[in-house]
Chain A
Amino acid sequence: MLEKMAKYSNAEEWADIVPIPQDDGPGQPLAAIAYSDDYVEAMSYLRAVMANNEMSERALHLTEDIIRMNPAHYTVWLYRSRILFATSSSLPAEITWLNTIALKYQKNYQIWHHRHTIVDALNSCTGEQDFLSQMFELDMKNYHVWSYRQWLVKRFDLWEGKGELEAVESILERDVRNNSAWNHRWYLVFGRGESCFEDKERVRREVDYAKEAIHLAPQNQSPWNYIRGLIRQTKGPAALSLASFKQFASEFASLDDPDNVTSSHALDLLAEILAEREGDAADAAKALDLLAKKYDPIRENYWKYRKSLLVGQGGVKAAA
Chain B
Amino acid sequence: MAMENTTNSSDSRIEELSDSELPTSEMEQVAMSAEEVSIPSLFTSHPPIKDNLVTITSEMQGETLAELLPYLMEPEGDLNVFGISSLIRKKHTRYLRHMLEGPFPPQFVAADATRPWMLYWALAAMTMLDVDVSEYRERIISTCTPFQNKTGGFGGGHGQFSHIATSYASVLSIVMVGGQEALDLIDRKAMWHWLGQMKQKNGGFSVCEGGEIDIRGAYCSMTIISLLNLPLELPANSPAQVNGDETFLTNLEEWVSSCQTYEGGIAGAPNNEAHGAYAFCALACLAIIDTPSKIIPRCLNMPSLISWLSSQQHAPDSGFAGRTNKLVDGCYSHWVGGCWPIISAALSSSSQPQTDLWSREGLIRFILCCCQQQKQGGLRDKPSKNPDSYHSCYVLAGLSTAQHYFGFQDQESFSVVRASAGFGWSITGRADVICDEDDWVKPVHPLFVVPFERAVECRKYFEEREGF
A: which residues have CB within 8 A of B?
Answer: 20, 22-36, 39, 43, 46-47, 50-51, 69-75, 78-79, 81-82, 113, 116-117, 140-141, 143, 146-147, 150, 174-180, 183, 186-187, 190-191, 216-222, 225-226, 228-230, 232-233, 261-264, 268, 294-302, 304-305, 308, 316
Contact = CB atoms under 8 A, between A and B. Distances in A.
B62 to A, nearest CB: 12
A117 to B, nearest CB: 7
B42 A297 contact: yes
B118 interface: yes
Contacts of B55: 174-178, 217
B106 A81 contact: no
B156 A298 contact: no
Contacts of B263: 183, 225, 229
B50 A219 contact: yes
Given A143-B273, A305-B357, A78 B211 contact: yes
16 contacts: A22-B158, A29-B102, A30-B143, A34-B104, A34-B106, A72-B111, A74-B160, A75-B155, A147-B268, A179-B326, A183-B274, A217-B51, A232-B304, A268-B307, A297-B315, A305-B357
B139 A29 contact: yes
B293 interface: no
Secondary structure dominating the interface of B = loop
A31 B118 contact: yes
B48 A295 contact: yes
Contacts of A190: 262
Interface stretch (B190-198, B317-325, B330-338): B317-325
B115 interface: yes
Contacts of A300: 359
B103 interface: yes
Contacts of B401: none
Contacts of A175: 55-57
B119 A31 contact: yes
A118 B50 CA distance: 45
A229 B210 CA distance: 34
B321 to A, nearest CB: 10
A263 B49 contact: yes
A69 B109 contact: yes
A78 B72 CA distance: 45
Interface of B: 42, 48-53, 55-58, 99-106, 108-115, 118-119, 122, 136, 138-146, 155-161, 163, 208-212, 261-264, 268-269, 271-275, 301, 304, 306-308, 310-311, 313-315, 318, 323-326, 352, 355-359, 362
Most chain B C-beta atoms within 10 Å of own C-beta, residue among A31, A71, A222, A294: A31
Given A232-B301, A305-B357, A24 B146 contact: yes
A29 B358 contact: no
- The majority secondary structure among interface residues of chain A is helix
Closest 10 CB pairs of A and B: A229-B262, A27-B142, A177-B57, A25-B142, A298-B315, A31-B118, A47-B159, A217-B51, A179-B324, A23-B146
Given A33-B102, A183-B273, A299-B310, 8 more contacts: A28-B139, A174-B56, A177-B55, A225-B324, A226-B262, A299-B358, A301-B355, A301-B356
A35 B139 contact: no
Nearest to A51: B159
Nearest to A71: B110
Contacts of B161: 74-75, 78-79
A220 B51 contact: yes
Contacts of A226: 262
B357 A302 contact: yes
Most chain A CB within 10 A, of B136, B159, B163, is at: B159
Contact of A33 (B103, B122, B158, B318): B103
Contacts of B325: 177-179, 220-222
Given A20-B159, A305-B357, A72 B301 contact: no
Contact of B100 (A30, A218, A268): A30
B146 A25 contact: yes
B55, B304, B323: most-surrounded residue (chain A CB, <10 A): B55
Contacts of A225: 262-264, 308, 324
Contacts of B210: 78, 81-82, 117
B53 A27 contact: no
A29 to B, nearest CB: 5
Given A75-B155, A140-B56, A261-B49, A36 B106 contact: yes
B139 A147 contact: no
A233 B261 CA distance: 11
A254 to B, nearest CB: 14
B49 A219 contact: yes
Contacts of B306: 302, 305
Nearest to B55: A175
